[in-house]
Structures are given as structure tokens and as C-alpha cells.
A and B are shown apart, each in its own frame.
Chain A
Amino acid sequence: MLVHLQGSWSPALGRLCMKQLAFLHVPILEYTFAVVALLGLAAVGAVTYFGKWKYLWREWLTTVDHKRIGIMYIIIGLVMLLRGFADAVMIRLQQDMAIGPHSPGYMGAVHGYLTPFHIGQIFSAHGMIMIVFAATPLLVGLMNIIVPIQIGARDMAYPYLNALGLWLTGGGAALVMLSLFIGNFAHGGWYGFLPYFELPYSPGVGVDYWMWAFQLSAIGTSLGSINLIATIVKMRAPGMTWMRLPIFTWASLSTNLIALTSFPVLMVALALVGMDRYLGTHFYTAGMGGNLMLYNDLFWIWGHPEVYFLILPAFGIMSEIIPTFSEKTLFGYATMVIASFAIGGVSWGVWLHHFFTMAAAPSVNSFYSITTMLVGIPTGVKIFNWIFTMYRGRVRFELPMMWALLALSLLIVGGMTGMMNAFASNDYMWHNGIFVVAHFHMMVLVIASSIFGAVEYWFPKLFGFKLEQKWGKWFFWFMVLGTGFVFVPMFILGLAGMTRRLDYIPYTAWGPYLHLEMVGIGLYGAALLFFLAHLYVSLRDRESRRVGADAWGTGRSVEWMTHSPVPSYNFALIPHINARDEWAWRKDNGLTELHPGDYEPIHMPKNTGVPLVLGAFFFTLAFGLTWRIWWLTALSTAAIVIMIIVRSFDTDTDMTIPPNEVERTEKRRSDRASDFIATGVPPYAGGPVGTATAYQRLPEPAGGTGASSGGRL
């Protein structure tokens, strides 16, 4: 072994021993483990009882369907969101209890109920989970589902790669969850403090868990970004020129370009941490030629583009929801596209504002202050575009629109406080302070609100029924209240000088504000219950809320042209795109009821279990590396390499859906839709005008497609 390890190590189990099974010793974890184990057993039991294992394996675990992969991404994201929220509750509770020298201590803590080591793990896990395993999978899942449908494609460019990305992310998430019960997690912040994360100062496995989970997710997200870029560039339906691309797809393109270019930097930064911790190199040590400031630089070269990777799809979602519920086309489409790419471009030149106080020259700090403020220009353009979209529109305050407007309001708060942070001189006063924390929580709540809006908005597209409104509104308003109660006091405390990550509050004067934040957490908790009620009632009463293709009646883009729920092949015939808001254009021109006379066989990728198994091996690889179980590491690596090679020689990866099956599916969906379409969709004005192409066969035969009925009008 090249480095000195503290504690025991054995060839068979590495650093793993009974003492490391934390769920047997730590009281909180004993209960958590019991609950998790019971829930897991209940889930396994339910699947077995209802005989659904085969269904689960065939339809979900081995699927390469982009919609199902997207749904599984979102499920992972929601589960991790819940875990991140639980961490937030624990942090808030500790800061609510440990105020002043006379505050009591419980469970081994001097004040409050968590020792510094424990709260360190909790805030590290909270940050990392929320960014990497909640927000990212939720947004990647949404892009996965919506982008191919929006551009009139049948699947992603690389369906197999898509599934692999999902299971790598799943493996990373599982690793973080495992660290709860076996060993411990990193305790120095989600972005890692170097040289504190070097082996001599963090001898446990926490940093290794953090590092390998991060790596798995980074690989998964990079694969996903390659896939989405290739899909958008190569698989658009005929007629969909760049300036007819729906704005969410534009945002996805910009965001995935950011991911593709920035994630490799993270992988390198973390790989160098790994070399330091495993091979005894000195990339980030304070001496021996190492440079701890280099880590900050490399991490945030990824880190800042990453936060725009998260915010751009959120902007894209808002740009889809607001026109639909204003019954108007999006104001300033071209400026919206330019703004998306401007934000993407600027994201590469602002990263130093995360460490203004590292003592760079004043000229350097000034440069980054200015570039940071530049972000406000394209963002401002977007805000005004959304407002002008609503101006003189018929605005309907349905749930998706409410979430989009909440996101818009929070964006203004988060953006203005961001401008305050952009001044290096300000940052010298509140660097690592609660003000910054409140600011970026405003921004991630923009993302969260957009995601909830997107779930409300596109849910009927995927499942064929709308979510109910009553409990959804309770959920919405309690989220608003919770946000106010948690983050307004946090801003005030930030201006009062409170710093991040405190396990003990020295000033009793801060107490009232922290108690108010606890009230806010209670409101968030209530919101969570309302969300569960929202889902339950929606599922229970789904029959009464079935919808047709155009679920909201005022949909504008291509995804509203196909059935709800979307068939596995998305479009029986690839649509021909004639306008920017194709569906709105077709409604205006009376082209909504076009049926092609005959169907053609559809070529689709075949399901495969390889990505799931690969994901499992990547998980065991990361687990082996974390605990330094070398045989497991070697075995997993060999298995991964062999599986990839074997798979690359598998030629039986495709299948063809015969025309009669397509016709059957289409007829079933249409018949079902006609039952409730009368109530779901308002009548349209206008009639056929000019020459329009509804469908185009691929490859297009010479002489056009006029031969079949419903082809060319």
C-alpha cells in the first residue's frame, strides 16, 4: 500500500469491519435503518405478492425507452430530494437547539443533539445530494422525456447509452445512501476542502464515499449530455429548422453543452484527490510541490457551469409553461435563444467568484466581479420576455403556471442578491456566510419550483391524466410559506454576520430568527404531506381526469400532438414541422384531426439488461475502492470491461414494430381519447389554408408523400 492507513485493513474485507456498521451503534441510525429495512421489505414483498417482478424487469429495469428512463431518473431524484430534505431538517433542528452556552446537549453532543462530526456529514450530504442526486436527475429525467418528443423523434440517439447513464447515476445515489449505514460520509462540505480532505486529515472512508459517488454521477451525466446533444442535432423531425426548435430543447442543448465541457474537469479534479488519497501523490497538499488552491480552481471550473447546467433547463421549463397558460406565443423567441447561450457562455468565465477571498490580485477579482454581473443581462432579458409573454395574454392560474410564476418571483430575489454577491468587496464581508447560502437556496428553489411546475405540466402527457388541483394548491402555498419563513430570516442572519455550517450558535440574539426558520421547516414538512396527498388523490381519481393529446387545451409545441400517454414509439408517423409553435399552428389551421391512412413498420431499439448490470458493477467497483477491497475492485473492473466488449459485438439490438400493431395501438389510444376529448379540448377556429405537410415518411420517396391519404393536403 502506497499510503499510510489509520485503522485496520484486511485483504478480504479491506477497511470494512463490524465497528464500521454504523447502524448498529448510532441511535438515530438504528431507527432510520429499521424504517428503511421495513420499507424495503414491504416494497419487495408487494412486488412479489402482486407477481410484478417479471413486469418490473421487462418493462422498467431493462428498458431503453427514453420516457421510462426519464421517469426512473425522476423517481431517483424525488427519493434523493426527500433524503436531502431530511438532512435539512436535522441541520435546522441542531441550529434551533444549540443556541448559547446554556443550551442543553443530548446524545453525546455538548449542545443540541448532533456532534460536530455528525453535523459535518449531514451538511456535506445535504449539499451534494441536492445538487448532484436530486436536482440533476430530476432535470436530466425531464430533458430525457420531453426533448425527443418535442423534436418529433422516436427515441434518443443512443438509447443504450441513455440507460447506462441512468444506472450509473443510480449506482452513485445508492453509494451515498449506503454511507448512511456503513462507515460515514465526508464531513467537510459538499465541494470538499483541500487539504482537509487529504488522507492524513480525513482518514475515514467518508471522503472516499463522497469522491466515488460524485465520479459515478459525473460519468452518468456526461454520457447523458452526449446523448442529448446528438439527439437534438441529428434527430429533429423534417421541417424542424433551428429557429423552429421549442425553447425547452434550446435550453437543453445549451445546458448539455455546458455539461459535456465541464464535467471532465470535475472528473480530473476528483481523480487527483483520489491519487493523493490512494497513491500518495501531492497534487493538493500544502507542501511537496502540491497546491491546495488548484483544487478550488478546478472544482469551481466545473462548479459554476454546473449551476447553470441546473438553471437553464428550469428557464426552459418556464418558457414552455408561461406561453401555454397565457395563450400566446413566447415573446422574443430569438432573444430567448441568444440569452440561453449567453448564460451558457458566461458560465465559463465567472468561477473565481466562489473564492474571491483566496487573495487573487484586485484586477483578477474585478474581472470576475464584472463577468458575474454580466450574467444579469441575459437573465434580465428572459425575465422581461416572460413578463411580456403574459402581458395582454389570457393568463390562467393553473398549477403549472403558479409554479412557473413562483420560480419567476424567486429568480428576481435570487438574482438581485446574486448581484450583491458579485461585488468582491461585499464577498470579503460575508464569504462563507449565511447570506450566500440564502442566495443560492433562492436559485435552487427556482429550479425546484420549475421542476414541480414541469411535473404538473407534463404529467398528463406521460400518464394520460391530470394531477388534481386542491391538494396541489395546498402543497404550493405551503411551499411558498415555508420558503418565506426559512429564507427571509436566513437573509437577515446573513447580514448580521452568521457563517455557514455552524454546529453551535454563540449569539443568543440570533435565536428568534433560527426559531422562525424552524417554523418554516415545519411548513415545508406540511407541504411534503400535502404533496403525498396530492399524488394519492390524483392516482385514486385518475379516471375522472383523463385527457386527450392536448392536455391543457392550449399546448403549443410538438409534444402535444401525440397521444397521452405517449406510445412507446412516440409518433406513429414522424410529423413534418411547419411552424415554430407547430401544434398551435395546426390548431389555427384546422389540421388537428389528421390521420395517416396506413402505417409503416417502426424500427426501435430492443430492451437490454446490460446497462443495469454495468451500473451494479460500477457500484461494486466504487464500493471496493471506498473500502479498499482490492479483489472486489479488480473483479468489478474486469467484469465491466468484459461486458462492454461482449455487448459491442451484440448485433441483435433492434426490433421492428409491425404496422398492424402500430395501427392497433393508435386506434386504441384514439378511441380512448375520444371518450373525454370533448371536455378536455376547446373547439378551434380556422380551417385549412395553403399547402401543409402533416406527416413525412422517412426516408422520403421521390415525388413526396401525396400518395397516402392524409399525407399532403
Chain B
Amino acid sequence: MSGHAANPLHHPEVSIANGKTYLANFVISVALMTVALLVVLSGMAPFDVFLVTTAIGGLTVIIQSYLILHTDTSRGQFWHTFSLLLFVPLFIVTIGLTAWMFHGLYQRTMIMPARSGASPMSLHTRAGTR
């Protein structure tokens, strides 16, 4: 409770913000999104598109959390960064187990005629044959 009466602009997580990193973040985010768009339009194999866009998305999240939330190892921010990192295992568990399940699931349930429009992951088995 104590300290809340102070001007909110003086809160450590507010005072750390600055326009330069916001602008840098904006430019980098737009650039990465453009790359993602170009990848989608490039006619790459669907599963490769899925992998590349996912990687770009992950990269964007990391860059944004660094430039906007300032998740660095400085004294004031260390615990914020650390507690964020503690959630990484959860991402691995949920996304990993989901991917594992869907890998087998598509082969069992999504039997589709060749060349029909389908979600990228369902083309997993076909991507190699192109």
C-alpha cells in the first residue's frame, strides 16, 4: 500500500519506458510482419510457411517483451524477467504435447483428397513429397 500515493509516472516500471525503444519496437515489428506476409505470399510449402511464421511470431514476442516490457537483467527488472522465464516450461509442455497429439491425429482423422485447401499442419505428410 505504501508508495501507491506517489505519482504513477514515478513508478519504476513506468519511468523505465521511453519513446526511442517504443519506436524501435514498432519499426522492427512492422518489418517482421512484412517478412511474414512475404513468406505467406511466396508459395513456399505450407508446412514450411507454418514453421517460418511461427518462428517469426516467437521472435516478435521476445523482441517486444525486451523493448516494451524491458525484460532485461538489470537490478530493477531482473525478477520480472526471471518470473517470465519460469513460464517457458509451460509453453514447452502445452505446445509440445499439443503438436505431438496433432501429429498423429491428422493421419487418423483428417483424411482429405489431395490438393484440397486444408490447414498447414495437415499437409505435414505431403509436404515432403512435393
| CB contact list, A43-77 vs B, under 8 A | none
CB of B38 within 8 A of chain A?
no
B86 smallest CB distance to A (angstroms): 10
Minimum distance in angstroms from B96 CB to a CB of chain A: 10
Within 8 A of A (CB), among B55-89: 87
Q: Is A361 among interface residues, defined by CB-CB distance under 8 A? A: yes
Majority DSSP secondary structure for residues of A touching B: mixed
Q: Which of A290, A291, A359 contacts B108 (CB 8 A)?
A: A359
**In the docked arrangement, what's the CA distance between A604 and B2, Å?**
9
The interface size bin for chain A is 20 to 34
Q: Establish whether residues B93 and A349, one from each chain, have CB atoms under 8 Å apart when the complex forms.
A: yes
Cβ contact of A293, chosen from B87, B93, B103, B109, cutoff 8 A: B109
Interface of B is mostly: helix
B-binding segment of A11-19, A187-195, A412-420, A648-656: A648-656
Q: Bound state CA distance, A352 and B93, in angstroms?
A: 12
B1 touches A604 (CB 8 A): yes
* Interchain CB contact under 8 A, A361 and B108: yes
Query: Closest CB-CB distance, B94 to chain A, in whole Å?
Result: 5
A70 to chain B, nearest CB (A): 18
Chain B residue numbers with a CB within 8 Å of A289 are 117-120
Residue tally, chain B, CB below 8 Å to A: 26
Could you mark each residue 279-300 of chain A with 1 if its beta carbon is under 8 Å from any beta carbon of chain B, else 0? 0000000011111010001000
Complex contacts, A367 vs chain B, CB 8 Å: 97
CB distance from A228 to the nearest CB of B (A): 15
Q: How far is the CA of A649 from the CA of B6 in the complex (A)?
A: 10
Given contacts A289-B117, A291-B119, A654-B1, contact A301 B94 (CB under 8 A): yes
A535 contacts B by Cβ under 8 Å? no
Contact A348 B90 (CB under 8 A): yes
6 inter-chain pairs at a CB distance below 8 angstroms, sorted by A residue, are A348-B93, A359-B108, A360-B108, A603-B1, A651-B6, A654-B5
Query: Which residue of the partner chain, among A154, A297, A348, A360, contacts B104 with CB atoms under 8 Å?
Result: A360
Give the residue of A349, A363, A603 whose beta carbon is less than 8 angstroms from that of B2.
A603
Task: Give A297 to B105 CA distance when docked, in angstroms.
Answer: 12
Minimum distance in angstroms from B119 CB to a CB of chain A? 5
Q: Is the CB of A361 within 8 A of B90?
A: no
The residue that A352 contacts in the complex, of B1, B87, B101, with Cβ under 8 A, is B101
Binding site for B on A (CB under 8 A): 154-155, 159, 261, 265, 287-291, 293, 297, 301, 348-349, 352, 358-361, 363-364, 367, 603-605, 648-649, 651, 653-654
Contact mask for chain B residues 94-122; partner A; CB cutoff 8 A; 1 contact, 0 none: 10011011111100110000000111110
Contacts of B103 in A (CB 8 A): 361
- Could you say which of B5, B100, B117 contacts A364, with CB atoms under 8 Å apart? B100
* B97: contacting residue among A349, A358, A361, A648, CB under 8 A: A349
Decide: A293 and B102 in contact? CB cutoff 8 A.
yes
Q: Report Cα–Cα, A348/B93, bound state, in Å.
A: 8
> Which chain B residue lies CB-closest to A650?
B8
Pick the 10 closest A-B CB pairs, nearest first: A361-B104, A359-B108, A289-B119, A360-B101, A654-B5, A364-B101, A359-B109, A291-B119, A360-B105, A297-B98
